[in-house]
Structure 1
Amino acid sequence: MLIKSLSHFVLKPNVQPNFWSQTAWAILRLVIGVMMIHNGLDKLSNIESFAQAYVAYLGLPFPIFLSYVAAYTELIGAPLVAIGLLTRPAALGLFFTMLVAMYHHISVAGLSLAYLELSAIYAAAFFFFLINGAGLFSFDALLVNWLDSSALSAQAKKVMLLEKIYNASETKKQETTKVS
């Protein structure tokens, strides 16, 4: 039961029935995810340089290790966000990565919008998906529907049974009213 509750919390997207809203979410998710992948590839192309220029500069411990964590968070998390699979956990990792990037930009250039712009936009987008999930057009939504299919069919059967009972009682009332 705990696993099912946890899976619902992690996977279940905020699904509004508005087709165009859900389509916009899917497009945003796809674009943001695909665009973020190259950041991870850039980090891996020269991990030592990235570790010195960004992670060690901030005074964080284990700069090489944390650089690999950031790179693989972007390389694994970004495609997951793009396709809408495990979106909330992936968005959480990417959101924190962007917060560190924003902190780095502020420590280097102050509150310069030119430096903060891209990482702030990414952070806001990943925060959006962290809160709302992937949306209707995602693998998360498919997984939740698949996990709920047996529960939904049992619930649907209960509703249909209640409807039959209600209809039978209404028919009986009508017959009683006709007899009187």
Structure 2
Amino acid sequence: MTDVTVSSSRPRAILPALEKIYLPLNTSAETLLRVLAGALLAVHGFGKITNPFGAIGMVEGLGFYPGVFWSPLLAATEFFGGILIAIGLLTRPAAFAGMIVLLVTVYFHGIVQGEGLFGAEKSILWAAILFFFAIRGANSQSVDAKLGKQF
């Protein structure tokens, strides 16, 4: 068996015929992940934005004082940050802020509530998705791209 050197940074497909299907969908798949992540984060934050001071006890229970400051900030981060991520505007800072919120929920479920990995796994996955967009930013199918600028 001989070594095959590929000049591109992308490995060759085992089934090259499939490249005709999945290569054109590459950008669309990333956009779908961003839109769904942002939309679901906004939906999750909707209850908090309608009652921005409703989480005062929870945030203070986690050690974030004063709760009157952190509770509305949490609500805005989830709701407005989710909308920004979904449309791809200021994607990196919105995703970074959302990732911090999710890392706090990893701590909350995994350690404070004593649920361990199984209690924190969903938050870990969400934090990883938001980390991806905090580093990568939005793609060509975003408001950031239409403006020609990214943070």
TM-score, normalised to structure 1's length?
0.64
Per-residue CA deviation, residues 45-85 of structure 1 (Å, 9 max, x unaligned), is: 55555221x21111221112101101001111101110111
1:22 aligns to 2:27 (yes or no):
yes
Residue matched to 2:147: 143
Per-residue CA deviation, residues 63-114 of structure 1 (Å, 9 max, x unaligned), is: 1210110100111110111011110111111111111111111233335233
Per-residue CA deviation, residues 32-52 of structure 1 (Å, 9 max, x unaligned), is: 111111221222455555221
- Change in 2 beyond 3 A, CA 1:34/1:75: same
Per-residue CA deviation, residues 119-157 of structure 1 (Å, 9 max, x unaligned), is: 212111110001111112111111117x9xxxxxxxxxx
Residue matched to 1:152: none
% same residue: 38
| Count of matched residue pairs | 128
Q: How far, CA to CA, are the matches of 2:139 and 2:37 in structure 1?
A: 14
Task: Indicate the structure with greater helix content.
Answer: 1
- With a CA cutoff of 8 Å and minimum separation of 6, indicate the structure with the bigger relative contact order: 1
Q: How far, CA to CA, are the matches of 1:62 and 1:29 in structure 2?
A: 32
Residue 39 of structure 1 contacts residue 71 of structure 1 at CA under 8 Å; is this kept in 2?
no
Runs of 4+ in 1 over 3 A off after TM superposition: 44-49
Residue matched to 1:35: 40
Q: How far, CA to CA, are the matches of 1:44 and 1:114 in structure 2?
A: 28
Residue 53 of structure 2 contacts residue 72 of structure 2 at CA under 8 Å; is this kept in 1?
no
The structure having more radius of gyration, on CA atoms, is: 1
TM-score, normalised to structure 2's length?
0.75
Q: How far, CA to CA, are the matches of 2:139 and 2:127 in structure 1?
A: 18
Q: How far, CA to CA, are the matches of 1:127 and 1:57 in structure 2?
A: 26
Correspondence list, 1:85-124, <5 A: 85-110=89-114, 112-124=116-128
Correspondence list, 1:46-85, <5 A: 46-52=51-57, 54-85=58-89
Please report the RMSD computed on the Cα atoms of aligned residues, expressed in angstroms.
2.0
- Change in 2 beyond 3 A, CA 1:22/1:112: same
